[in-house]
Chain A
Amino acid sequence: MSEAIARHIDPSQMKVSDEVAIQITQMNKWYGTFHVLRDINMTVNRGERIVICGPSGSGKSTLIRCINRLEEHQQGQIIVDGTELTSDLKNIDKVRSEVGMVFQHFNLFPHLTILENLTLAPIWVRKTPKKEAEEVAMHYLRKVKIPEQAGKYPGQLSGGQQQRVAIARSLCMKPRIMLFDEPTSALDPEMIKEVLDTMIELAEEGMTMLCVTHEMGFAQAVANRVIFMDQGQIVEQNAPKEFFNNPQSDRTKLFLSQILGH
């Protein structure tokens, strides 16, 4: 298990409100004839930190990509922050500017400097004045501890630094929900810690987070709910302590024995 989570955190201290942030009901999705997501029902309250895990091909990435409509669902309902995701472009843009997303491969814009990467969306989507956007950007760069890299291009940074920039880029839009799609899977072991530390800080500040990850240490330290998916459906969800110490389904037991076994 990852040694990243060295300091003591008490997840129960982090508040979860009763307000609903994301509501998914009876959602189904197909790629062609392949049924990737089956009858997904899920409610996320504001301030919740949810870790989604499962074997590859289980639909976990697809699920969180549906939440900001990088993928389209064909049946059921997804309501994000009170806005239902339909083919209405205005709603989609509204949801996307409220929901931050961090990708496995960072997806920074290589032709722009770090600072320009961070200020682009605030300036063009939020219409923030350039100066103000730059101040906000520097604030978040300090927060992810790389303000000195502001003038460089993404290609000059290490993977861990790039991923922290990507997190800062999302935060500059002041999102109310953050989605993480395997944020540490493309990183060298040494760099995983710096990214997880940033994510833990975010969690402590009460950000609503959905995180697809294999970092079970992170799940135990900050998640208040772990969701296990297999074959496009939610197999088991529980508080992390229960989930890891007392898994119910055989599929979950097998999965946990394989990733925690060594």
Chain B
Amino acid sequence: MNTSNSTFVRTEMLPQKAPPITEAGAVKWMRENLFSSPLNVLLTVLGVGAVAYLVLHIAPWLSRSVWNAASLTECRQIIEARYGEGATGACWAVIRERWPQYLFGFYPQHLYWRPVLAFVLLCVAVAPVLFDKLPRKMLWFSLIYPAVGFWLLWGGSVWVPVAALAGFAIGYVAAQVVKPLAGTILATIAAVVTPVLWWLFLAGPAADAVHSVLPIALESVRSREFGGFILAFTIGFTGIAFSLPLGVMLALGRQSDMFIVNKLSVGFIEFIRGVPLITLLFTASLLLNYFLPPGTDFDIILRVIIMVVLFAAAYIAEVIRGGLAALPRGQYEAADALGLDYWKAQRLIIMPQALKISIPGIVSTFIGLFKDTTLVVFVGLLDPLKGITDAVRASTDWKGIYWEPYIFVGTIFFIFCFGMSRYSMYLESKLKTDHR
């Protein structure tokens, strides 16, 4: 074929050939990813060495696990009998024996079915929120679940959670009544103020009154009896469920043109972000008692949950503000130009996009919140990591056990946090519609 000539016509097409061996398969992958330069070779060797070192030290300990023993001494005897003098191994028997305590703390044993049922129902309530393929009608159950879960966990009269739920219905009705009479702003205020008044002054007496007529109740469980993972889950999931809507409201407040709303939101966010969570928890457990009228029995878990919600909401508000700032002004203008009012524009146009942008930040905040539930140990609640583990290690049977309880609790936290992280990635890819 003569190519020096500037005219050229191909007469036969070239067949496909296999690439050279260095350009395909495992060899190519290793060349590119592990040994592409001297520095990379060095890093590969060091990295493999570090992993090998860790595995060689942990694997024998893990492989000599004991699952059945009544005490740490028995555990050690079994390991020495099996693997010879001086051998060490993991003693998971402690988890097996203290399993109920890790899950339920000092929750009364004959009532274990209640937190279990509450957890199962929690999964049912959360499912339609997480996966939009499920029927939308299930969301109604998700909405009333907080009351159901509360009743199952704490027991008492059924009318207390019902009265609490009624507050939301009252707020909705108030907004619907006020809106045609006095406009959107006053309707929004009515939707906030009437339920608060109801909860503060009327909900308690109303629940008592109905209860005296129609007593339906479960055996009460006091908050001090909660502990372990039901405590962490109760605080964690309630915190997550309530901090997101509050965070959205705070973010909108901070963007608002209304001077007072704006300054209150800014002040609240900056104050809450400026103090450590422990400070807020101490405030919840100690200081609140000074401010509340004497004799008020304000539940300690409820107080902690309120503080955790406020804490996470301040962070979420800032994350969402970032999402709002990333939206082009044109989106607001297009919504306005079509005649959508403020709340419709927020709900249909602005928030779906701002929340989508903020997903990674929001989920990070949730993960932080969930792990921070272990801090309640500082206000005397039995969190799984330190509270229950200290109780276990204080017993004569398990005195001196160290790694196993922490590894176990850490693993459980890891599973949930990793799950949240994976879910957020799934959600991001599902909501990706901009095709950039």
Q: In the bound complex, do residue A103 and residue B330 qualify as a contact, i.e. CB atoms below 8 Å apart? A: yes
Question: Which residues of B sit under 8 angstroms from A38, Cβ to Cβ?
Answer: none
Give complex CA distance A155, B436 in Å.
7
B339 part of interface (Cβ distance < 8 Å): yes
Instruction: List residues of A whose CB falls within 8 A of some B CB.
Output: 68, 70, 89-90, 93-94, 96-97, 99-101, 103, 105, 107-111, 120-121, 124-125, 153, 155-156, 169-170, 173
Give complex CA distance A96, B436 in Å.
31
Q: In the bound complex, do residue A70 and residue B333 qualify as a contact, i.e. CB atoms below 8 Å apart? A: yes
Q: In the bound complex, do residue B344 and residue A155 qualify as a contact, i.e. CB atoms below 8 Å apart? A: no
Give complex CA distance A101, B125 in Å.
42
Question: Which residues of B sit under 8 angstroms from A173, Cβ to Cβ?
Answer: 338-339
Query: Within the complex, which residue of B333, B341, B434 is in contact with A93, where a contact is CB–CB below 8 Å?
Result: B341
Q: In the bound complex, do residue B333 and residue A96 qualify as a contact, i.e. CB atoms below 8 Å apart? A: no
Q: In whole Å, how far is A53's beta carbon from the nearest beta carbon of chain B?
A: 22
Query: Within the complex, which residue of A97, A99, A100, A107 is in contact with B330, where a contact is CB–CB below 8 Å?
Result: A107
Question: Which residues of B sit under 8 angstroms from A107, Cβ to Cβ?
Answer: 328, 330-331, 333-334
In the A-B complex, the 7 residue pairs with the smallest Cβ-Cβ separation, listed nearest first, are A97-B339, A155-B435, A107-B334, A107-B330, A121-B338, A101-B337, A96-B339
Interface size on B, residues (CB 8 A): 24
Q: In the bound complex, do residue B333 and residue A103 qualify as a contact, i.e. CB atoms below 8 Å apart? A: yes
Question: Which residues of B sit under 8 angstroms from A124, Cβ to Cβ?
Answer: 340, 344, 348
Q: In the bound complex, do residue B330 and residue A105 qualify as a contact, i.e. CB atoms below 8 Å apart? A: yes
Q: In the bound complex, do residue B353 and residue A110 qualify as a contact, i.e. CB atoms below 8 Å apart? A: yes
Q: In the bound complex, do residue A153 and residue B337 qualify as a contact, i.e. CB atoms below 8 Å apart? A: no
B303 part of interface (Cβ distance < 8 Å): no
Q: For B342, give the chain A residue with the smallest CB separation.
A: A89
Decide: A109 near B334, CB < 8 A? Known: A97-B339, A125-B339: yes
List 7 A-B residue pairs with CB atoms under 8 Å apart, sorted by A's residue number: A101-B334, A101-B337, A103-B334, A103-B337, A110-B434, A111-B352, A170-B338
Interface centre among B184, B338, B348 (most CB of A within 10 A): B338
Q: For B435, give the chain A residue with the smallest CB separation.
A: A155
Q: In the bound complex, do residue B338 and residue A155 qualify as a contact, i.e. CB atoms below 8 Å apart? A: no
Give complex CA distance A191, B337 in Å.
24
For chain B, residues 153 to 203, give those with C-beta under 8 angstroms from any C-beta of chain A.
183-184
Question: Which residues of B sit under 8 angstroms from A96, Cβ to Cβ?
Answer: 336-339
Decide: A111 near B339, CB < 8 A? Known: A70-B333, A156-B435: no
Interface centre among A93, A110, A125 (most CB of B within 10 A): A110
Q: In the bound complex, do residue A70 and residue B337 qualify as a contact, i.e. CB atoms below 8 Å apart? A: yes
Instruction: List residues of B whose CB falls within 8 A of some A CB.
Output: 183-184, 328, 330-331, 333-334, 336-341, 344, 348-349, 352-353, 356, 431, 433-436
Q: For B341, give the chain A residue with the smallest CB separation.
A: A93
Question: Which residues of A sit under 8 angstroms from B333, Cβ to Cβ?
Answer: 70, 103, 107
Q: In the bound complex, do residue A89 and residue B184 qualify as a contact, i.e. CB atoms below 8 Å apart? A: yes
Query: Within the complex, which residue of B184, B337, B339, B349 is in contact with A109, where a contact is CB–CB below 8 Å?
Result: B349
Q: For A120, give the chain B residue with the smallest CB separation.
A: B348
Question: Which residues of B sit under 8 angstroms from A111, Cβ to Cβ?
Answer: 352-353, 356, 431, 433-434
Q: In the bound complex, do residue B337 and residue A155 qualify as a contact, i.e. CB atoms below 8 Å apart? A: no
Give complex CA distance A109, B340 in Å.
13
Give complex CA distance A173, B338 in Å.
8
Q: In whole Å, how far is A186's beta carbon from the nearest beta carbon of chain B?
A: 11
Question: Which residues of B sit under 8 angstroms from A170, Cβ to Cβ?
Answer: 337-338
Give complex CA distance A105, B340 in Å.
19
Question: Which residues of A sit under 8 angstroms from B328, Cβ to Cβ?
Answer: 105, 107
Give complex CA distance A156, B333 in Å.
22
Q: In the bound complex, do residue A121 and residue B339 qualify as a contact, i.e. CB atoms below 8 Å apart? A: yes
Question: Which residues of A sit under 8 angstroms from B352, Cβ to Cβ?
Answer: 111
Question: Which residues of B sit under 8 angstroms from A105, Cβ to Cβ?
Answer: 328, 330
Give complex CA distance A94, B356 in Å.
31
Q: In whole Å, how far is B338's beta carbon from the nearest beta carbon of chain A?
A: 4
Q: In whole Å, how far is B30's beta carbon from the nearest beta carbon of chain A?
A: 38
Decide: A125 near B338, CB < 8 A? Known: A103-B333, A120-B348: yes
Q: In whole Å, how far is A96's beta carbon from the nearest beta carbon of chain B?
A: 4
Give complex CA distance A68, B338 in Å.
10
Question: Which residues of A sit under 8 angstroms from B341, Cβ to Cβ?
Answer: 89, 93
Give complex CA distance A101, B431 in Å.
28
Question: Which residues of A sit under 8 angstroms from B340, Cβ to Cβ?
Answer: 120-121, 124-125
Give complex CA distance A241, B234 in Å.
76
Q: In whole Å, how far is B24's beta carbon from the nearest beta carbon of chain A?
A: 35
Q: In the bound complex, do residue A70 and residue B434 qualify as a contact, i.e. CB atoms below 8 Å apart? A: no
Q: In whole Å, how far is B277's beta carbon from the nearest beta carbon of chain A?
A: 34
Give complex CA distance A97, B184 in Å.
18
Give complex CA distance A96, B344 in Å.
14
Q: In the bound complex, do residue B339 and residue A153 qualify as a contact, i.e. CB atoms below 8 Å apart? A: no
Question: Which residues of A sit under 8 angstroms from B334, Cβ to Cβ?
Answer: 101, 103, 107-109
Known: A97-B338, A103-B334, A107-B333. 8 other contacts (CB 8 A): A70-B336, A93-B339, A96-B337, A97-B339, A103-B333, A109-B331, A111-B431, A170-B337
Q: In the bound complex, do residue A110 and residue B344 qualify as a contact, i.e. CB atoms below 8 Å apart? A: no
